[in-house]
Amino acid sequence: MTTTSTELQDRLATRFLRYSAISTQSDSAATVVPSCQGQWEFARLLAVELEEAGVRDIHLSDTCVLTARIPSTLPDDVRAPVIGFCTHLDTADSGLSPIVNARIIEHTGGDIHLGEDQWIRRKEHPEIDAYVGQRILVTDGTSVLGADDKAGVASVMEAAVRLMADPMAHPEVYLAFVPDEEIGLRGVRTMDLARFPVDWAYTLDCCERGEVVEATFNAAYATVVIEGVAAHPMSAFGVLVNPILVAHDLIGRFDPTQTPECTQGREGYIWVDAMHADQSVATVDLNIRDFDRTRFEERKEQIRQIVDQVRAAHPRARIDVTFEDVYANLEDSKTPTNAIATRRLLDAMAAVGVEPIHRSMRGGTDGSWLSAQGIFTPNFFTGAHNFHSRCEFLPLPSLECSHRVVMELMRGASS
């Protein structure tokens, strides 16, 4: 195992704390990209830091996609693969405060007191026992920590700054920082791929030390709009069609065992994510997820069939359903040629003494979209735990390991 560096951990922690102080909680109700002003503030800060480090071709798009290039220091006649790193600017809205008050604590064992009456309890989160004696980043219990994905941003930014100051020969590297990943990968879909001309790329958007992700869900949204017939209760007999009750009928026809809380591993689901209703119209939002493409399409067809059944049961209601694909399974884009991205990643992890933990992610990353566009983009760890919760925490030695893997990839891609 590579010896840890307190100085390096301090630099990474300082960078993370600077970034986490900017509120970048994305808003799914917004109709523009980015969905909050904080993401502009964050992107502009990163652009300044990159410029000060001497990074080239820094560009901030009108949708807050920041791209940049670290020039090659190899001889002109040496052709080496060009790699990229993509991390996201936003943090998730989990119904908590958008203001993050992060701090470093020394974990001496037992429960971790966050603030007020908020704790990370060993009974609920036994994973904290693995980090006794380590410094970890936590919140004050009022928000998510935002390691998803500011830990990834901090790891890549520190590597970019160090690489620009490093005389060691290295190939060309591209960077991308994108908004609104947490609300359906909205930002990366606006990315000008001509500004990210890489052979392959990596995202840093998952959890504990060692995690490697080459499989993600296929994902889609379905929206069912039910228009009823409004009437005053005194004259409602034979007239009123209550769209809320029709929506309940619709929801009740789905298999209650095929939901997020009842599935695991590579099992898919249909999730009734939200309902908005009044006496005239009800809207039901459904998330469709599956690793297998055939089953994924079958789940869409199941929704169509249920909508048809509900139409037949409520002929006076008008019911429409629309679908929107969000991202595809990363592993479907892997080929014998681009599998070199994973081999290089595993070599980099071995070089810093990190044992890989291969996971199928029950979610998606910006790399899911990039891979579908022809840029295979596996995902690897930042070291954080409990994303999207007030109990999120980030051990500094794990963040250091993530950063060292990034440095190995940036410097060793020509090997």
Q: Kindly list the catalytic residues.
A: 90, 181
Whether the CB-CB separation of 86 and 70 falls below 8 Å is answered with no
Whether the CB-CB separation of 172 and 71 falls below 8 Å is answered with yes
Tokens at 372, concatenated: 């579908």
How far apart (Å, rounded) are the C-alpha atoms in residues 204 and 46? Answer: 17
Whether the CB-CB separation of 138 and 102 falls below 8 Å is answered with yes
Enumerate residues 6+ apart whose C-beta is below 8 A from 294. none
To which H or E segment does residue 85 belong? Answer: strand 83-88
DSSP string covering 93-146: --SS-S----EEEE--SS-EEEETTEEE-TTT-GGGGGGTTSEEEE--SSS---
* CA-based torsion, 228, 229, 234, 235: positive or negative: negative
Tell me the angle at which helices 396-412 and 6-20 cross, rounded to the nearest 10 degrees. Answer: 100
Tokens at 353, concatenated: 């003494």
User: Residue 322: phi, psi to the nearest 5?
Assistant: -125, 155
Contacts 24+ apart (CB under 8 A), 274-277: 275/247, 275/251, 277/243, 277/244, 277/247
Whether the CB-CB separation of 314 and 249 falls below 8 Å is answered with yes
DSSP secondary structure code for residue 389 in this structure:
S
Residue that the structure tokens 């209760």 belong to: 233
